[in-house]
Amino acid sequence: MSPDSLKQFQLLAGFSEDDREALAELLEERQLLDGRSVFREGTESEGLVLLCEGRLRLKSKRTGSVLGTLEAPTHLGGASLFSFGKREVTAIADGPASVQTLSRTALPRLADDAPRAAFRLAEAVAGELAAQARQALETLVENDPAQTG
């Protein structure tokens, strides 16, 4: 993936050209046929996934349903770069798709080779997680029966 094409991802918006170059060197490309999984629910999360082309369906064994879809360009799994745990859903290609992955094991190399890029990535993931937490709290407050009437 070219460093310039990384500009399309919201998570990487704050990256400089040098930061994107350092990151691009560590990404691994995967082409997916329709119905092939990027990862499966319950498996160890192993890193950031950039959906470059196509669409992914997110399925849950717990609910037995499709939870939603993601369309390129988008990303998922950023927190798994810094935290161990199991995948909460299965991500399956809905038609042909192309992804780039940054594995958790590549992160220390990024930190050694381009510390500013690694810091920017950590900062972006932390900012995204904070925004998701704020949104979840707002939803809880809006749906709290004690807040009405």
Q: pLDDT tens-digit profile of 35-90?
A: 999 999 999 999 999 999 999 999 999 888 899 999 999 999 999 999 889 999 99
**pLDDT of 7 above 80:** yes
Mean pLDDT of 20-42: 96
H helix or E strand, kind and range, residue 112: helix 107-113
Lookup: tokens for 117: 């890029």
Mean pLDDT of 10-34: 95
- Global pTM reads 0.88
30 is in which domain, residue-wise?
Answer: 3-147
Q: Return the CATH number at 69.
A: 2.60.120.10
**Average pLDDT of the chain?**
93
Q: If pLDDT is split at 50, 70 and 90, which confidence band does 147 have?
A: low
Domain count, the chain: 1
Beta strand extents in 2-139 (DSSP E only): 28-32, 37-39, 47-53, 55-60, 65-71, 74-76, 90-93, 97-103
